[in-house]
Amino acid sequence: MSVWVDGCMNPLILGIFQYIGPNGTIGSAWQHPSDTSAEFLSIRHWTELAQKFEAANLDFLFLADSYGYPALAGELIEASVREGRGIPHGDPMPIITAMAAVTRDLGFILTTSTTVEPPAANARRFATLDHFTDGRIGWNIVTGSSGATAAALMGKDLISHDVRYDMADEYVDVNLTLWEGSWKDDALVLDKAAGLYADPDKVRLVHYEGQYFRTDGLLNVPPSPQRTPLLVQAGASGRGRQFAGRNAEAVFLAGGDPVVVAKNVAGIRESAVAQGRDADSIKLLVGALFITAPTHAEAVAKYDEMLSMSTREGAAAIYAGNTGVDLLALDPDKPLAQTSTEMGQSNLERYLAKDGTPAPLVRDILENFRTTGINGSVFVGTPHEVVDQIEAFVGATGADGFLIQPHLTPATYDDFIDLILPVLRERGLAPVEHSGQTLRERMFGAGPHLPESHHGRAFRW
């Protein structure tokens, strides 16, 4: 938890947000002459980025993912294809090992959905990745944004929102059963002379029988450095927060109004406490964009240029893909009539009346979404102005750190590293060094295994 000690805040956790596609959090930044994100299918593009983030001592690189894409009523949204917004989107898993091979400390958080593959396939993949990264892997557990298209692609019906989370609880438990329960720590002997690979008394089949998932079998990978990857989650609906309280060690939150973010932060901490965990057993990381330059005027010019690359049509396509709501088809002078969705709820709830504040009109929602994007906060100014804004935001929300979202790749990150990071370091807000090899140790200063207070420890053999 970001607390003030003797007038000082804890160093922030800083991760990078990317996905395997032409990037741009707000607008189609890939169109910019200096942006390289359209090279997302080149391995070198990724290895060079990973080396840059490692050299800056950032904590991790997060790769978002979804099988879904923006579509409405079974039809592709033209603006999405034309502007490269949500389409295309490659699989992030294969690139992790290439990046791990050229780095030593950088963590990697990989997204997979609980509605696509059987849980045992997920467990084996992450166990293997935990080895290949020397314990630097985390799992962003999502129930699938753009759920309608993802479900249709998989030949399935869209499962209703809360049931998706019920299923996700079980999905996580099957993974935990396999990771924590199949092998004892010292099962691997590797005695060539005796011909003894592993001790048969220390390897076993595990069984899990739930309402939605079951497994009878072996995690066919010896125990990895963390056993269970760092568990991360990113849905902030009421049911999402409950899921986080039970399962997550870190939560990615959308930024935006600090009052709303503070409520989400508090709600997730309360949910952890309700599950018998400490309030600070979950790190709260806020998605944010940092636009900076040596002078205020230059920073504002960069910001204006970014907004000029964000169209109403492109923004509406992303909104529709996430929530199922077509803002362009609604009366611009009325608030949203729909108050819930079986797709992503956070971006619908964001624009409903609350706490005595009237609901915004559709035209204002579209403009707000066009200029702030799916995940919220934008900090603009000179490095000192931005760090002042960061301090105020963290003080007001209790967040533990940020997920640095892309505008221009790599220029936005270069600006953060070259201009903002030194000021954060000056003020003691960014770590100068870190301890521990694994991602869990890096985030918590403890590990490498799940803490005792996490329910997953009950699956330990």
Ligand X SMILES: Cc1cc2nc3c(=O)[nH]c(=O)nc-3n(C[C@H](O)[C@H](O)[C@H](O)COP(=O)(O)O)c2cc1C
Binding positions for ligand X, rule: CB under 6 A:
64-66, 111, 140, 142, 144-145, 161, 234-237, 240, 252-254, 287, 344-346, 375, 403
Q: Which residue pairs from 418-427 have beta carbons closer than 8 angstroms and sit at least 24 positions apart in sequence?
A: 419/292, 419/293, 419/294, 419/383, 420/290, 420/292, 420/383, 420/386, 420/387, 421/56, 422/383, 423/383, 423/384, 423/386, 423/387, 424/12, 424/387, 424/390, 427/387, 427/391
Closer CB to ligand X, 67 or 459, in the complex: 67
Closer CB to ligand X, 84 or 344, in the complex: 344
Closer CB to ligand X, 344 or 456, in the complex: 344
Closest distance of CB 202 from ligand X, Å: 36
**What residue number has its CB nearest to ligand X?**
235
Closest distance of CB 196 from ligand X, Å: 42
Closest distance of CB 323 from ligand X, Å: 9
201: tokens are 């008394």
Distance between terminal CA atoms of the chain? 31
Give the DSSP letter string of 361-374.
BHHHHHHHHHHH-T
Q: How far is 428 from 422, CA to CA, in rounded Å?
A: 10
Closest distance of CB 284 from ligand X, Å: 11
Closer CB to ligand X, 127 or 318, in the complex: 318
Alpha-helix residue ranges (DSSP H) falling in 287-438:
296-308, 312-323, 346-349, 362-372, 383-397, 411-415, 421-426
Closer CB to ligand X, 369 or 459, in the complex: 369
Closest distance of CB 403 from ligand X, Å: 5
φ, ψ (nearest 5 deg) of residue 61: -110, 125
Closest distance of CB 373 from ligand X, Å: 10
Closer CB to ligand X, 80 or 345, in the complex: 345
Burial of 436 by CB count in 10 Å (0-12 exposed, 13-18 middle, 19+ buried)?
Answer: middle
Q: CA-based diameter of the chain, in Å?
A: 79
Q: Which residues contact residue 90 at a Cβ distance below 8 angstroms, ignoring those fewer than 6 apart?
A: 20, 21, 40, 41
Q: Return the H-helix or E-strand segment holding 137.
A: strand 137-142
Closer CB to ligand X, 68 or 447, in the complex: 68
Closer CB to ligand X, 85 or 161, in the complex: 161
Q: How far is 139 from 234, CA to CA, in rounded Å?
A: 11
Closest distance of CB 198 from ligand X, Å: 35
Closest distance of CB 78 from ligand X, Å: 23
User: What type of residue is 291?
Assistant: I
